[in-house]
Structure 1
Amino acid sequence: MPRRPPPIPIRRNYSRDLKNRVIHQHYTLQRKTSEISVNLDMPLRVVQRVLGTWKEIGDVCRERKGRGRRRVLSTHNMQFLIAIVDRNPDIYLDEIQDEIWTQHGVDVSIKTIHNSLKRLGYSSKKLTRQAAERQQERRDRFFLEIGGIPPEYLVCGDESAVNLLTTYRLNGWSVKGVRAWKIAKFIRGTRCVLTLLFPLHVLTVSQDTQFYQR
């Protein structure tokens, strides 16, 4: 019959407190390593390693060194990534890749850029556009002026125009929990009035015939 391979031992992790008990029993209670192994239910080799580590560095645990390879993007590159996304939230990942290569000479993959944005707390979401032509001061002044006019003197109209701004991107990057928005131009061409304008106080709506009557 073919020989069975020996079972692979399962390596256990022992707490610092349990390792300190090894030191206590060896130096304070003057017990042998074999007795400590039985008392604490630890392999003899583990007891010997704990005692060896204590003699070498004066502690039962060594400081863990950093695992894994070094990140491609440094702290300075990450700050540049945050700045470029905040300045242009609807930028594509391949455009970020080109910017990092042009400005810093770092060749990074699109997947790395995506993971870095996720780690920084950014997510891709629906982009909200704010009109670049908006003037908040004039808007506030308009609300104050129109607030004093009776509703029956207001005139409503319908306008139509050709939309020339259909190439805007729909999604953008922003921190999780914060809306992604960007200032964009809202002028879409020459607007034409399609319906006649009438003051509201001379128009009534008939619910039965659905026609406008004077």
Structure 2
Amino acid sequence: GNYTYVSLEIKRLMVSLSGHYKTREIADICKVSPCTVQRVLQLWRQSGEVVRVPVVQGRPHKLDALDLAYLESCIERTPDSYLYELRAQLMDARGTEIDESTISRSL
């Protein structure tokens, strides 16, 4: 669409003004279109927020950043480690149980 960026501060101002002013008046005060005011207020009524929170898509990763950093340090110390050895080290040190193929894909 052809949206113009509206700051968080202005969006919060719209919500504050909504108890005392009409949509058109808020639009004039905030220098935005009435449609923008309606969109912000509708989002606020539905979610309690003035900005959309992105939905995380897909499955969460089995390895977090610390797990990956640990694996990388293991490989730096012993570059000829087998995947089953890395898997065992990760389980012992971090308590993360994963398949060897996950390690292979992640590195």
Amino acid at match of 2:63: S
Q: 1:33 aligns with which of 10, 23, 36?
A: 23
Distance of 2:83 and 2:4 partners within structure 1: 47
Distance of 2:45 and 2:59 partners within structure 1: 31
Q: Does 1:105 align with 2:97?
A: no
- Give the 5 Å matches for 1:56-135: 56-66=46-56, 74-75=63-64, 77-78=67-68, 79-85=70-76, 87-88=77-78, 91=79, 99=83, 103=87, 104-106=100-102, 107-108=104-105, 113=107
Amino acid at match of 1:57: S
- In structure 1, runs of 5+ residues without a counterpart are 1-7, 114-214
Residue 44 to residue 67, structure 1, CA distance change in 2 (3 Å): farther
Distance of 2:57 and 2:7 partners within structure 1: 20
Aligned to 1:116: none
Q: Deviations over 1:164-199 (max 9, x none)?
A: xxxxxxxxxxxxxxxxxxxxxxxxxxxxxxxxxxxx
- Give the 5 Å matches for 1:1-214: 9=2, 11-27=3-19, 30-66=20-56, 74-75=63-64, 77-78=67-68, 79-85=70-76, 87-88=77-78, 91=79, 99=83, 103=87, 104-106=100-102, 107-108=104-105, 113=107
- In structure 2, runs of 5+ residues without a counterpart are 88-99
Residue 70 to residue 12, structure 1, CA distance change in 2 (3 Å): farther
Amino acid at match of 1:19: K
| Count of residues in correspondence between the two structures | 91
| TM-score using structure 2 length | 0.58
| TM-score using structure 1 length | 0.34
Q: Let me know the Cα RMSD of the aligned residues.
A: 3.3
Q: Deviations over 1:6-39 (max 9, x none)?
A: xx62x33322211111122220xx3221222222
More strand by share: 1
Amino acid at match of 1:21: L
Query: Sequence identity, in percent?
Result: 21
More helix by share: 2
Larger Cα Rg: Structure 1 or Structure 2?
Answer: 1
Q: Give SS of 2:18's match.
A: helix
Distance of 1:42 and 1:48 partners within structure 2: 11
